[in-house]
Chain A
């Protein structure tokens, strides 16, 4: 299919001048092009001639109404004074009515506030921000493969040979626990949780408190809010909270009531047939919040809600040894392929990106505005106090040329520290120490003040960033996510990026924060402890704070001659449509200095049976090409090609990168340690989510793979992961599994 937009533009008369001449010249020499143009012109004529739907009219009644209103409007136009007067009078009445009505409706605490007595608003039911369930669309017509580049030799760091078998064993000891006798409090909670959750059936529409999305065979996609699921028929507002306040009294015995936490619901990517969907497109993501959050749950002795588990964030939490970019581009790409240990007939492909590292002395000066939530809900030890310590750690690392200011928000926004050079550490720390929690949150105006400050003291070619620190409480003021999002998008045009640090438990608005960070060209990290604060704000500060590429999008084109189907593991909230990939205005992810991004695909090679759960007999394949594939060509040699689009952080020009991946399979035990470890992390995530594609694999397989691929483990993060896997294995699993295997479209 022709991908040159000039063809259509010419047919529609939109080409002019030099472009037109060039196209006509080409047309003159290309018979096939002429034929295509003829077809396009026919289609255009047909479209012009299509009759409209007869219902598309106002109807007599409305038309009369409209005509009357229009005449009235014209009369008033002629005498503007009377129109104004009329508007003022009506407006005054309307306002009066609203005020009276509003006063009657206000709940008691607010009335007290209005009478001038300042009271801390009781946080009873913070506004839940329901997720809009939006549909997705992938109608990718077949495309031809792009020209391939020979991939450079990949690094294979061989660690000690793994003594284990490359395939993961089924967990024969796994028994579904009957909850008739409950021995521990955590068991009780799990039991109550599973009772609260309606069982999900894949084909039915769902409403209300569904935690697991059903799969949509072959659909993925994006919305203004990134990806979610679509149900036939209605726009349902879904409460994306795993458990409501209906949690019985026993729920409150636990330290944190996560009844008001908020996670975006999404369904996992399922297998897609290459012939129907040769392209997989998504925006890059370097957020790590999900891992920290999952860790928090496990350390408290609970399994996390599956929607809190974003597998790509788990995998991306760990620093891997990826090749440093050399040459023109600030991003390097590598890729390798092995067998999926949970399903050896399937392949597992890893796409590894790394952002250029910047030595500290070369980092541009920073203009940082910390926007700190000091509302009442931030009082607990794991919130404001932790935040203060974390930022003091950061302040230690500031240089003379850096500027930092602090804006607080609670009820109203205040500038607590005007832009101060990194040299004056004592002053900065004093300002931090003086922060105290109290009042209710009005997120929006605080953000406006912060951005204003960042813009006022903008450093050209520097790192200008607002860092929002909160537990996610936006319950007074603008509660509409869409308005907040619009505000942040507008601000990001000015070159000020946004990072979000989430704190605390029980009120974490995970989905809000992820969304805002996405729209603000920034990243989102969750800080649950001082060591994590050190990791995010010191160890990986360059990555957290310095962007080296923005609006980074990935599009993978699979070769139908070698691949039958594929499944992207994770990134459900980052999916894009094929058109989005070419849309320069489309906001995508950002990569910070030194950041690594990993994406895994489970691939069903050509010739393999698709994981179809229906009982249909034989599978029907169209022949990918009528002519036999010549051996030794790109078509026969390659599995897929990775294309990347990104922009330098201070420009709007898009750059392209491409990388073709050959059909060379490493045996799992020979795969690089980083790859094996990432696979273990993916398995961990899939098991927590109950992914059906994982099958009945036990924790032990995941654990031993991780153990054998620890490698250097700077920062001890991998060792900590082992502890988490062990913890998870001891917690009872009573979750219906999510069906994410292939379903017909």
Chain B
């Protein structure tokens, strides 16, 4: 596969997951797009593309994460380098997402109730298809910690799912 083909493939496969991932970190869509552009640009500057292909996903997510954190840091000079637990959620636009059924819609809204870190792990696992080990490398966490946190995220989703929907407070 030629480098150009690799880049095209990478772009078509990972553009959306990366933007969603960056959006979770920076908090809004425009900066997420900036970050992802930068990420792919860096990919294109790699001199030995074929060697990256076997670990393309972790590479992309790691670079994306770093860019997103840098971006955050520049805008807010004193934020901690680590991802913190809560960040304002990206603005929930009118429901333009086409869900196949109510369950999907409900699951999507439950995801928003997780912490930012938990969402990040879920994105890496389910959008990026990264293994625990790769997730650990991207997020600088130990493998066992990744396992624990992902488990906790899944269990939280289960618990939330099994609860009756909340009453609306007046």
Contacts and interface: CB of A to CB of B under 8 A. Distances in A.
A7 B81 CA distance: 31
B19 A70 contact: no
A74 B4 contact: yes
A577 B145 contact: no
Interface in B117-170: 117, 122, 125-127, 131-132, 141-142, 144-145, 147-152, 154-159, 161
Interface in B5-35: 7, 11, 15-17, 19-20, 23, 29, 32-33
Contacts of B142: 584-585
A129 B79 CA distance: 12
B3 A74 contact: yes
B51 interface: no
A70 B7 CA distance: 8
Given A1-B155, A73-B41, A58 B19 contact: yes
A232 B88 CA distance: 8
A583 interface: yes
Given A129-B78, A482-B73, A66 B85 contact: no
A51 B97 contact: yes
B80 A8 contact: no
Contacts of A136: 85-86
Contacts of B125: 12
Nearest to A482: B78
A224 B80 contact: yes
Interface in B70-93: 73, 76-82, 84-88, 93
A632 interface: no
A43 B154 contact: yes
A134 interface: yes
A48 interface: yes
Interface string A40-63: 100110111111111111110011
Given A12-B125, A74-B3, A134-B84, A47 B76 contact: no
Nearest to B106: A46
A65 interface: yes
Contact of B80 (A12, A225, A579): A225
Given A43-B154, A66-B40, A69-B44, A582 B148 contact: yes
B77 A43 contact: no
Contact of A7 (B3, B151, B157, B161): B151
B97 A54 contact: yes
A56 B82 CA distance: 24
Contact of A49 (B15, B32, B33, B104): B104
B53 interface: no
Given A52-B17, A58-B36, A132-B78, A233 B88 contact: yes
Contacts of A89: none
A584 B145 contact: yes
A640 interface: no
A74 B2 CA distance: 11
Contacts of A49: 100, 104
A55 B79 contact: no
Contacts of B47: 77, 80
A118 interface: no
A46 B20 contact: no
A56 B80 CA distance: 26
Interface residues of A, number: 74
Contact of B15 (A57, A69, A70): A57
A223 B43 CA distance: 32
Contacts of B100: 49, 51
A62 B20 contact: no
A56 B24 CA distance: 11
B115 to A, nearest CB: 5
A14 B23 contact: no
B151 A58 contact: no
A52 B20 contact: yes
A232 to B, nearest CB: 8
A116 interface: no
B107 A50 contact: yes
A237 B11 CA distance: 36
A5 B125 CA distance: 15
Given A5-B151, A137-B85, A137-B115, A583 B145 contact: yes
Nearest to A8: B151
Contacts of B152: 5, 579
A512 to B, nearest CB: 11
A531 B37 CA distance: 60
Interface string A137-154: 101010000000000000
Contacts of B114: 139
Contacts of B16: 52, 56-57
A43 B96 contact: no
A220 to B, nearest CB: 11
Interface string A192-231: 0000000000000000000000000000011111000010
Contact of B84 (A4, A8, A223): A223
A481 interface: yes
Interface in A14-60: 14, 39-40, 43-44, 46-59
Contacts of B19: 56-58
In this complex, the member of A14, A51, A136, A225 whose beta carbon has the largest number of chain B beta carbons within 10 angstroms is A14
Contacts of A461: none
A486 interface: yes
A132 B86 contact: no
Nearest to A142: B159
A139 B132 contact: no
Given A136-B85, A141-B156, A224-B81, A53 B37 contact: no
A681 B100 CA distance: 60
Given A39-B158, A579-B149, 5 more contacts: A56-B29, A62-B37, A74-B44, A482-B81, A584-B145
Interface of A: 1-9, 11-12, 14, 39-40, 43-44, 46-59, 62-63, 65-67, 69-71, 73-74, 77, 80, 129-132, 134-137, 139, 141, 221-225, 230, 232-235, 237, 480-482, 485-486, 577, 579, 582-585
10 contacts: A6-B147, A43-B161, A46-B104, A51-B97, A55-B29, A70-B43, A70-B44, A134-B86, A136-B86, A223-B84
A-B interface, 9 closest residue pairs, ranked by CB to CB distance from nearest? A224-B80, A135-B86, A137-B85, A5-B151, A70-B44, A8-B151, A56-B19, A73-B44, A5-B147
